[in-house]
């Protein structure tokens, strides 16, 4: 079973790249983030023509998430339990679905903007709501493989940014954000990707300052999984090639391959 996560930075702008990538790499499940479209405007027909069912949560603003699957799409959950609002709005940042017995959450964690910004406080509250939502799911079905995948907008360690000195006082690397991420590990999730990554670990390169060519990247697109999921992982890799060329997203897909049964 092949599962991918990809912040596409507009599904409309990246539709041909998404369908083409799926044709080449044949993922069974794809979690998408930053759709930038409403549910009604999502290109459901081209995605269906590529062989995928899709569940979307989008309002046309700067957010939006989806789960595409060619192995079933059941028990869809829209949003988090007690998810906080920002400026009075329930932002579309999390969607869960069960695909061939594997529970997948596609998440787009708030950016935070600046450490003293109210969006930063919102980010921490949002991560707490994510923790509580997933903790409840783990408690209700501890043997079911589960993964929370997507754009976390947090680099777990200093090694996950190209130069930690350049991030002094910035978001994405603060102790508060990393502590919120650690609370996901405290409820039983593990960061799957570092176990088997091939090549450079980064998943995001800013469009500005020729960051991709200079290697100025960050690993913020993550796969956090429970033990039944992690035990089935056979490989994990970042498709850095997909970040290249005209019309690319500023994020690369992260791919996880699973055995049909536990490898332990």
Beta bridge partners of 235: 257
**Owning domain of residue 69:** 2-258
Q: What is the CATH number of the domain that holds 127?
A: 3.60.10.10
- Assign 3-class secondary structure to 221-256: EEEEECHHHHCCEEEEEECHHHHCCCCCCCECCEEE
Q: What does the pLDDT average to over 203-224?
A: 96
Residue 263 in any domain: the answer is no
Query: Does position 262 have pLDDT exceeding 60, yes or no?
Result: no
Residue 147 in any domain: the answer is yes
pLDDT category, 253, cuts 50, 70, 90?
Answer: very high
Pairing of strands 29-33, 94-99: unpaired
Residue 133 in any domain: the answer is yes
Beta bridge partners of 237: 255
Please tell me what DSSP assigns to residue 83: P
Cα distances from 39 to residues 4, 6, 44, 55, 227, in angstroms, run 21, 18, 9, 9, 33
What pLDDT, on a 0 to 100 scale, did the predictor assign at position 193? 82
Cα distances from 90 to residues 119, 124, 152, 205, in angstroms, run 13, 15, 18, 28
Q: What does the pLDDT average to over 135-152?
A: 98
Which pTM value belongs to this model?
0.96
Per the structure, the count of domains in the chain is 1
Cβ distance 148 to 134 under 8 Å? yes
pLDDT category, 261, cuts 50, 70, 90?
Answer: confident
pLDDT, tens digit (0-9, with 9 covering 90-100), for 33-52:
999 999 999 999 999 999 99
What pLDDT, on a 0 to 100 scale, did the predictor assign at position 198? 52
User: Mean pLDDT across the chain, nearest whole number?
Assistant: 95
- Looking at the chain, the whole-number percentage of residues with pLDDT higher than 70 is 96
Residue 264 in any domain: the answer is no
Q: What does the pLDDT average to over 238-253?
A: 96
Residue 230 in any domain: the answer is yes
pLDDT, tens digit (0-9, with 9 covering 90-100), for 81-137:
999 999 999 999 999 999 999 999 999 999 999 999 999 999 999 999 999 999 999
């Amino acid at each position: 079973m092949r599962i991918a996560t990809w912040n596409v930075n507009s599904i409309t702008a990246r539709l041909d790249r998404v369908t083409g990538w799926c044709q080449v790499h044949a993922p069974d499940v794809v979690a998408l983030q930053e759709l930038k479209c409403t549910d009604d405007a999502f290109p459901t027909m081209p995605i269906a023509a590529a062989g995928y069912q899709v569940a979307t949560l989008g309002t046309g603003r700067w957010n939006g998430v989806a789960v595409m699957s060619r192995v079933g799409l059941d028990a869809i959950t829209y949003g988090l339990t007690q998810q906080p609002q920002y400026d009075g709005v329930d932002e579309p940042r999390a969607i869960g679905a069960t695909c061939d017995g594997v529970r997948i959450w596609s998440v787009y964690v708030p950016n935070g903007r600046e450490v003293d910004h109210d969006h930063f406080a919102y980010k921490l509250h949002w991560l707490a709501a994510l923790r509580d939502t997933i903790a409840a799911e783990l408690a209700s079905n501890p043997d079911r493989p589960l993964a929370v995948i997507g754009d976390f907008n947090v680099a777990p360690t200093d090694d996950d940014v190209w130069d930690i000195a350049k991030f002094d006082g910035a978001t994405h690397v603060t102790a508060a954000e990393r502590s919120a991420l650690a609370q996901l590990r405290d409820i039983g999730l593990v960061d799957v990707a570092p176990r088997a990554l091939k090549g450079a670990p980064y998943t995001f390169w800013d469009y500005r300052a020729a960051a991709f060519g200079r290697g100025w990247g960050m690993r913020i697109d993550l796969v956090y999984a429970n033990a039944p999921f992690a035990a089935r992982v056979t490989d994990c890799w970042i498709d850095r090639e997909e970040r290249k060329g005209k019309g690319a997203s500023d994020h690369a897909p992260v791919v996880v391959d699973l055995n049909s049964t536990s490898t332990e």
